[in-house]
Structure 1
Amino acid sequence: MSQLIKPLDYQPLLDTKQTEQGIKLIKEFFQQNLSTELRLRRVTAPLFVLQGLGINDDLNGVERAVTFPIKDLGDARAEVVHSLAKWKRLSLAEYQIEPGYGIYTDMNAIRADEELDNLHSLYVDQWDWEAVISKEQRTVAFLRNVVERIYAAIRRTEYLTCETYPQIKPFLPEKIHFIHAEELLQMYPNKTPKEREDAICQKYGAVFIIGIGGKLSNGEKHDGRAPDYDDWTTIGENGREGLNGDILIWYPVLGRSFELSSMGIRVDKESLLRQLQLEGKEERKTLYFHQKLLNDELPLSIGGGIGQSRLCMVLLHKGHIGEIQASIWPDDMRVECKKLGMTLI
């Protein structure tokens, strides 16, 4: 309960029926826009993968995956995906996707270690996408261009939602602001990473923070990233490290910053080896995924995840993600949310 944000004078703008219709509208329209904008083909994705192949997303490296034994495989263990960051890159190779094109899929995950609040659920759903790029496109300028195109698709979806439900008013700014995590630290040296995100998002409305995963000048990371998918150590523009980042907005309903997407240019052989060494994970070099990459069997790529329930929550002006998706919540949170006008599914 200590994690629950209690918005003042909260009133849902849509009833239950309208909310369900709005979710369908947003999901169908946005994924079509994303597919067209980035030239992505839809593919079918797994809910679980075999343990020990290095395919699952390790997130910050401390979250436990949900696992179970498979009877017909001699009790070999499978684990529910955290995301499909590495599986998608294997699929690009399998489907022989050409540069300039890619794939997207509906990713469903269970994150049992999540701290439950208005934004975080045990159940995670997102559009996971990945596209093949050339060596010359492994730049911050290319990353920024892709971010701007994704943000444009988000704003088009906001426009449609507000046209469909006039009681919902648009609030996203026309443009997204770019800033490196180190620059953000210099702007707000006495704030925590979360407080820095709140400050910059309140100032600009929509922000992409570049370079998440590596240590900053204060010896700390802005946030954690696994060492084997996003490239957070290659030197980009202004001599700073990082070819990845997060899309965040200022969300007035909750009065805080709100992450919609984590994405980036993926590691090549050199940055993979460098990041495994930095994180003390060099034993991963022998795993299936890592061997594929080190043996030049995987294409260079850019990719990320965009929260489905989160995008619907923002565009429908909801106060809790449990108003969008069905999940498990503490009983006292359900009771308190109902008092505040946030009826959890």
Structure 2
Amino acid sequence: MGRNLLKREQAITFVKETFSSNLKNILKLIPVSSPLIVLDGTGINDDLNGIERPVAFPIKSLDEQRAVVVHSLAKWKRVRLKELEIEPHEGIITDMRALRPDEDYSPIHSIYVDQWDWEKVILPQDRNLQYLKDTVSNIYAALVATEKSVEAQYPDKKAILPAQITFLSSQEVLTMYPDKTPKERENIIAKEYGAVFLYGIGGELSNGFTHDGRAADYDDWSTENEAGWHGLNGDILVWNPLINSAFELSSMGIRVDKKALLRQLEIRNCTERAELSFHKMLLNDELPEAIGGGIGQSRVCMFMLKLAHIGEVQVSIWDQQRKDNLAKENIFLL
């Protein structure tokens, strides 16, 4: 078993190095260092759906000021773009490590999160759906190229991604399947198309509900136009036949500008956040326009290597009974 695990570790490294190289080249991204912790009360940490609790602790050397372990670097990266004086249509990428203790365990969820977190400077005229789609197509091209490289290196890992990704709005999908839950709708479209960018996530749909939660202060999910779509964000979903489910590889989007931030803080009834340091910087025109997102490293490895459990590609904490039950199915966690 030890040698098999070692071979798996080598395959994981191959996937990570191949995809990150493809992504950096196609999006013109520069690797940078990133934090594991940020100070609490600054508004820098990613609030995800707005309800998850971060790991927090006091720092003795800073008079017990509290720090939080990052959920992701959605807002930190935008500040870093400014600090590094990144030019338009160039960006940064970093290996993000995070803890999300409120995450429910499942074959695709762990409390430990590893992502390629990336962010690019854009121009005001780039704040449109077509620019978002073009960026998604580039990321998807990097995924397709990586899967082909994995198959060439490991012939038993057959490439299954379609050549192109399909774009659908959350409202379109609701209209198509009004009697289904959001997750059921994702499963249907992912199975039908193989790969889908589902955009417009966070804003209220025609049934009075959102497709999924999004915090108010990073992605723009409330912009609308005459065509009826709203939102400049979304998720890259692929169909994973091994677990018979839609499989999210990335959440991303064009970031809020001043108008979108104020609008979304109002919608979420959290206007007091406008007083936090990150939000003040944005409202004072101190931050660049940006697009960015996170791409799950463990998720990509799991998909590319055709593995059934996220614990097969990352070291996390699992209860012993779960590990024993999975071992009976020849699924051995790292």
Q: Same fold (TM over 0.5)?
A: yes
Shift of 1:18: 2.1
Q: Work out whether 1:93 is the aligned partner of 2:105.
A: no
Q: Distance in 2 between matches of 1:311 and 1:23?
A: 9
Q: Which residue of 2 aligns with 1:210?
A: 199
Task: Decide whether the 8 Å contact of 1:121 with 1:327 is kept in 2.
Answer: yes
Identity %: 56
Q: Which residue, out of 275, 296, 301, partners 2:290?
A: 301
Task: Return the letter of the residue paired with 2:71.
Answer: H
Q: Which residue of 2 aligns with 1:25?
A: 14
Q: Which residue of 1 aligns with 2:143?
A: 154
Q: Which runs of 4+ in 1 moved over 4 A?
A: none
Shift of 1:15: 3.1
Q: Which residue, out of 152, 176, 184, partners 1:195?
A: 184
1:101-127 per-residue CA deviation (whole Å, 9 max, x = no partner) reads 000100000010110010000100000
1:152-210 per-residue CA deviation (whole Å, 9 max, x = no partner) reads 00011101100001111111111100000000001111110000000000000000001
Ranked by relative contact order (alpha carbons within 8 Å, sequence separation 6 or more), the top structure is: 1
TM-score by length of 2: 0.98
Task: Decide whether the 8 Å contact of 1:133 with 1:301 is kept in 2.
Answer: yes
Q: Which residue of 1 aligns with 2:219?
A: 230
Task: Return the letter of the residue paired with 2:153.
Answer: T
Q: Distance in 1 between matches of 2:282 and 2:157?
A: 46
Shift of 1:16: 1.7
1:223-251 per-residue CA deviation (whole Å, 9 max, x = no partner) reads 00000000001125723210000000000
Q: Distance in 2 between matches of 1:285 and 1:182?
A: 29
Shift of 1:78: 0.2
Shift of 1:331: 1.7
Shift of 1:17: 2.3
Q: Distance in 1 between matches of 2:157 and 2:141?
A: 19
Q: How does 1:1-345 map to 2 (within 5 A)?
A: 15-236=4-225, 238-345=227-334
- With over 3 angstroms needed to count, the CA separation of the structure-2 counterparts of 1:237 and 1:30, relative to structure 1, is farther
Shift of 1:21: 0.9
- With over 3 angstroms needed to count, the CA separation of the structure-2 counterparts of 1:340 and 1:237, relative to structure 1, is farther
Q: Distance in 2 between matches of 1:255 and 1:171?
A: 14
Q: Distance in 2 between matches of 1:215 and 1:235?
A: 11
> SS at the partner of 1:98?
coil
1:230-281 per-residue CA deviation (whole Å, 9 max, x = no partner) reads 0001125723210000000000100000000000000000000000000001
Q: Distance in 2 between matches of 1:237 and 1:97?
A: 33
Task: Give structure 1 stretches of 5+ with no counterpart.
Answer: 1-11
Give the count of matched residue pairs: 333
